[in-house]
A and B are shown apart, each in its own frame.
Chain A
Amino acid sequence: MAERRRDAAVFEWDIFAVHKQELSQSADPAPASEPTAAENAAALFPLPVPWRGWVLVRRLTQLFFLLLFLILFLQATYHGEDRLSWPVDLFFRFDPLILVEHGLATGTIVPRLLLSLLFVGLTLVVGRFFCGWVCPLGTTLDGCRRLLRRSQPDGATVFKLRRVKYYLLFFLLGAALFQVKLAGLFDPLSLLFRTVATVLYPALSYGLEESFAKAYELGPPLTYVSEPVYGYLKDTILPFRKPVFLLPSLTLILFVTIIVLERVAPRFWCRTLCPLGALYGLLARFAWLRKRPMKLCPDCGDCQPVCKMGAIHAQEVPRHQSAECILCLDCQEHCPHQRVAFRFGGQDRRPGLDLGRRQVITAAAAGVVAVPFLRLGSLVHRPDEFLIRPPGVESEAAFLSQCIRCGLCLKVCPTGGLQPLGWEQGLDGLYTSRLVPRLGYCEYNCTLCSQVCPTGAIPPLQLEVKQASPLGTAFINRSRCIPYTEGRDCLVCEEHCPTAPKAIAYYHAEVADLHGKKVMVKLPVVDPDQCIGCGICENKCPVGGDAAIRVKRSLRLER
């Protein structure tokens, strides 16, 4: 491999030219003819050999952030306190893409997202370290790659596709200017959190719960072991109630696709698609910290195949591209001559991005042009009668311009009522959160979703305000409701109605029962002025299938 590459390199005029130049600059030039590897190292790179432990430090850092991500994920739940004590949205505060997109879409800055400027600053100093050291999706991909056992070298198309991430970034930002906010679909943190919250964690908890339930059924002596283990898991990682979410297959397919793309090339997602990676890449191009040597050594070139980002590659000259480099330091670890080091400064010309001015403008313009087309898909469905948004959301348009589809509210909702929206409202509604009362209602005394929302799409609400903010209004379907149709008392909806006075009242009336006999029953009726649309009535209604009482969008929510 190395032999072939060296041969190939000889034919590229630039390489030797550049190196000769460097040789002449050094104080004691090594003989240019047939230098040994050791001589080369000593002469060309008279710098101390870097510490070999950096890769281990990087891996431990990656694990630390992945664990932190998972711990914060588990903490996003009700713990007996009305206010969450953990900053469960921390990772989204690391994300300048959310900050920028939100700024473009709404013209406002979310203060808690300003933490991402720290990462922007660090990226300008050291480069795209976020992707290599922090990003939990990147760590997941690194971990899965080992299982996928990929061996073939990267194909040429991977390098051509690298520019796609920049196109995608500018497309998304262009669309954001007109309040079509799609970055959340591709943002790695949103994508991972959403996937873990709605598919992986529910699958894990379902699997474990069912296994332990089976063990419990079998009884002793199995339960002597299984029950303490179950109790421990219940206290630590298992959810209080088994979560279920809509769209599991789509979410899983998207995630698995990203994982399987690792077989095409390592970190395929990060190289070619990730818009956050693109944003960090744009900044990292100017990073102060740079790899030495900046160009591929003519006599070796071993770091080129080692690099999982393909950062030591360019059409004309194999230079190190700091926009692609995620500082994994594998090249430093693998360098057989111990030449590779990362140092600050350096006057050498930086390689260009895989991106021209014209492409930037085209991509952003495409994003702008796409807006009406995307909007048509959602406008045609509005207003959907049963699309209930989380509490405090006053207008559909404002919500769509702010929700980043991260899934935090879905995770934290204690009843499991907040669910991801499917294609019903077109692409710009996909994965935004909605309340599905049949699956779970809005708990009257709870404000957790408004506490965790990273962008304030669900605005922070005092409990009293939340309890007075209607999500919708309940309507009784009198051709399904039991007292109306069967002449038998029920009133489960009225019983659970949390407002005081209750928004569901009842009156005594004579109706025909199933045999046509006149009977006196209590007939429920909704007071629309009192109803806050929490949906507990729809959730608890004993009528199967669609409930006989359903929460509809209030007309006052429309714009």
Chain B
Amino acid sequence: MNRREFFQRVAALGILAGAGKLLTFPPELFAMAPAERPEPLLAQASGTNYAHLVGDAVQALGGMKKFVNPNEVVVVKPNMAWDRTPELGANTHPVVVRKIVELCLEAGAKRVKVLDHTCHDARRAYANSGIKAAVEDIKDPRAVVEYVDERKFVEMAVPNAKSLKKWSFYKDILEADRFINVPVAKHHSEARLTMAMKNMMGAIGGWRGRIHVGLHQNIADMNLLLRADLTVLDATRIMTQGGPSGGKPEYVQVKNLVIAGVDPVAIDAYGATHLFGLQPKDIGYITKGHELGLGEMDINKIKIISA
């Protein structure tokens, strides 16, 4: 091949690739926000077998088949932001996450991705939270634990947002057929508590420290775009002080509870009162989320089923 031929071939390949690009569909981003207000119905299961708790709570809501259809791509977003072991309560319990993934697989999901945009080094947090090993232990090729890929953060406008009008969000979560939020209930110094809505911090990119100025409105705003089809709150053990990172077993209280629902505001409101003895109005993002129409914060209007 001489130089001329080489350039000719490169040009031909380039044209071919360009044509191929035009013919294939551009990946469509669709906002997952359901238009209607979610039903403030929560299922609570209590016991010491955490896998059973998850199964019971989801079953009480109608079973995972109600949330995940066969051949769908599901993103499961636990809180595994910290390089902390399970007993310190800084991350979602690995048994809880594993059970959620198993339920999705049983419901026929094509692919279940488990991921979080971590605070500590992701490799350390994924490993020491125990979640990576727990999910990989299922040994199903459809279930994967993925590290966040920086290329997949896309800038999105947030309709109706009051403060966070534009930010970068994780594409895989936006594009997934189903999105399941699996937070842990913790004390948080600035936000006071972190449960369902605050867990969305791990689904966004950018310089996240900046979000902490005006945090409550920002949390509510990001939940306009990031709407989970199902939220399963891990309250098997809760961190009552030193949050969000904790670090001492003394900070952790065993509650042996799992709370599931589709209304993130209702879960946070119920969690605040039932787990931590606070009022929903004490927590800024609960009030602001309610104002944005994300869910119900009035504890009297929230219906609890015991599973």
Contact = CB atoms under 8 A, between A and B. Distances in A.
Interface of A: 78-80, 213, 216-222, 240, 414-415, 443-446, 482, 486, 488-492, 494-502, 506, 522, 540-542
B59 to A, nearest CB: 34
Contacts of B6: none
Closest 4 CB pairs of A and B: A500-B247, A542-B209, A491-B190, A500-B248
Nearest to A541: B209
A222 B21 contact: yes
A220 B21 contact: yes
Contacts of A219: 21, 24, 26-27
A488 B218 CA distance: 13
B246 interface: yes
B152 to A, nearest CB: 8
Interface in B183-204: 188-190
Given A495-B188, A542-B207, A501 B242 contact: yes
Contacts of B245: 495-498, 502
B221 to A, nearest CB: 16
A415 B121 contact: yes
A489 B189 CA distance: 10
Given A222-B17, A445-B124, A497-B245, A488 B189 contact: no
A218 B151 CA distance: 12
Interface in B207-257: 207, 209-210, 212-215, 242, 244-248, 251
B123 A488 contact: no
Contacts of B212: 489-492, 495, 542
Nearest to B26: A219
A494 to B, nearest CB: 5
B128 interface: yes
B253 to A, nearest CB: 15
A203 B128 CA distance: 31
Contacts of A240: 122-123, 147
Contact of A443 (B120, B213, B215): B120
B105 to A, nearest CB: 23
B141 interface: no
B190 A444 contact: no
Contacts of B190: 489-492, 494-495, 522
Given A221-B24, A490-B213, A500-B251, A414 B188 contact: no
B27 A414 contact: no
Given A444-B83, A489-B212, 16 more contacts: A78-B123, A78-B124, A219-B26, A219-B27, A222-B17, A222-B21, A443-B121, A444-B120, A489-B215, A495-B190, A500-B247, A500-B251, A540-B119, A541-B209, A542-B207, A542-B213
Contact of B189 (A80, A221, A491): A491
Contacts of A499: 247
Contacts of B147: 240
A498 B247 contact: yes
Contacts of A502: 242, 245
16 contacts: A78-B121, A79-B123, A80-B123, A218-B21, A221-B20, A221-B24, A240-B122, A446-B124, A489-B213, A489-B215, A492-B209, A494-B189, A495-B212, A500-B246, A541-B209, A542-B207
Contact of A220 (B20, B189, B210): B20
A547 to B, nearest CB: 10
Contacts of B26: 219
B195 to A, nearest CB: 16
Nearest to B127: A80
A415 B188 CA distance: 24
Contact of A500 (B124, B207, B210, B242): B242
Nearest to B24: A220
Contacts of A222: 17, 21
A217 B27 CA distance: 11
